[in-house]
Amino acid sequence: MNSRKVVFLFWSTLLVGSISGGIVGVALNYSLYLNEGLANLFWGVIWALGISAAFSLIAQMGFFAYLTLHRFGLGIFKSVRLWNRIQVIIIAFVLFDLFYLRYAAFAESGESMWSYLIIPVLLFIYGLIVAALKAKATNRQAFIPALFFIIVVTSIEWVPALTANDPKWLWIYFAPLLAANTWQLLVLHRLTGTGADPSIQKKS
């Protein structure tokens, strides 16, 4: 992938993350911004776009970190199947932690644990959809790495908001991360010009 395509990936990801996060940020604070007048709404939109751009940069760092980790994993285990099984185990642990650790840390007395299942379940379903699209566009070996990236890497990037447990910040932080990660994952093979990403091709 040449420098022009790298630049395109950077700016397009920044744009996707900024717009998606900006929309969510404005929607969650719309009444507050609007009640203070159009000038406040304007600066509120600018703030939402700016903070979302920062989160999309985190998503880009996570993406390239995972590409390195994936190659490293393939090099250590010498087997796509074994490395994929390890990734599946990690996915299961992360989904469980998204449920149990948040419940243990933030649940109030008498609060049901089922509400804490919503986030991991929805993230898992979304990850399955994106991974299926990735596998269809490249090859079936891409399914598990794509699922791992969407669930595990996004969750790691989301940790600051998860630990704060502020409902608004959860989604203001999450929207640009998920949008940026999805975009990067689904556009990479188009930029490399191959049927499969060089990061996920089956080793001979």
Tens-place pLDDT, residues 115-172:
889 999 999 999 999 999 999 999 899 999 999 999 999 999 999 888 887 888 889 9
Q: Which pLDDT tens digit goes with each residue over 2-59?
A: 788 899 999 999 999 999 999 998 888 877 777 767 777 788 889 889 999 999 999 9
Query: Considering the domain boundaries, does residue 120 fall inside one?
Result: yes
Query: Considering the domain boundaries, does residue 29 fall inside one?
Result: no
Number of domains in the chain: 1
Query: Considering the domain boundaries, does residue 162 fall inside one?
Result: yes
Query: Considering the domain boundaries, does residue 19 fall inside one?
Result: no
For the record, the structure tokens of 65 come out as 């970190």
Query: Considering the domain boundaries, does residue 114 fall inside one?
Result: yes
Domain limits for position 85: 58-192
Query: Considering the domain boundaries, does residue 44 fall inside one?
Result: no
Query: Considering the domain boundaries, does residue 101 fall inside one?
Result: yes
Q: Is the pTM of this model over 0.85?
A: yes
Query: Considering the domain boundaries, does residue 151 fall inside one?
Result: yes
